Amino acid sequence: MDALALLTEKMPPFAKLMGLELVSAAKEKLVARLRVRPDLCTIPAVLHGGAIMAFADNLGAMGAVLNLPEGAWTTTLESKTNFLASAPVEGVVTGECTPVHRGKRTMVWQTRITTAEGRLVALVIQTQMVV
């Protein structure tokens, strides 16, 4: 089974609830989209910061899963988000997640979230623990 099929099949329930749509998945890069629905927004009708963070967290965890040794699992140790622009309701954001470090005990992932027009909405760096 390829990485995209594997992650789509095992997608966490919260990622499904958010509407995360995986576009591509490999050990070196994951790409996903998220439609900015009204129920994921704050006032004034822009994607909520928590939704942005959750989107990135799911991507980083999925990237770690693809790089885990047999029988291991992962959990987020730390996450830092720089919010740079808003994403308006009914738009679509894209998350591109790449590894910064893939070690035996930890992995660090960077996710860039952009609008359909290419505007950088957020930059997220997270550390995943290998358990």
Per-residue pLDDT tens for 98-114?
999 999 999 999 999 99
Q: What is the CATH number of the domain that holds 22?
A: 3.10.129.10
- pLDDT (0 to 100) of residue 1: 74
The structural domain count of the chain equals 1
Please, are residues 76 and 127 in contact by the beta-carbon 8 Å criterion? yes
102 beta partners: 107
Alpha-carbon span 74 to 50, nearest angstrom = 21
- Checking if the pLDDT of 123 tops 80, the result is yes
Residue 55, domain extent: 3-130
What residues contact residue 43 under an 8 Å CB cut-off, 6+ apart? none
The tokens of 11 are what?
């997608």
CA–CA distances in Å: residue 44 to residues 38, 41, 89:
10, 8, 9
The model's pTM: 0.96
Per-residue pLDDT tens for 48-95?
999 999 999 999 999 999 999 999 999 999 999 999 999 999 999 999
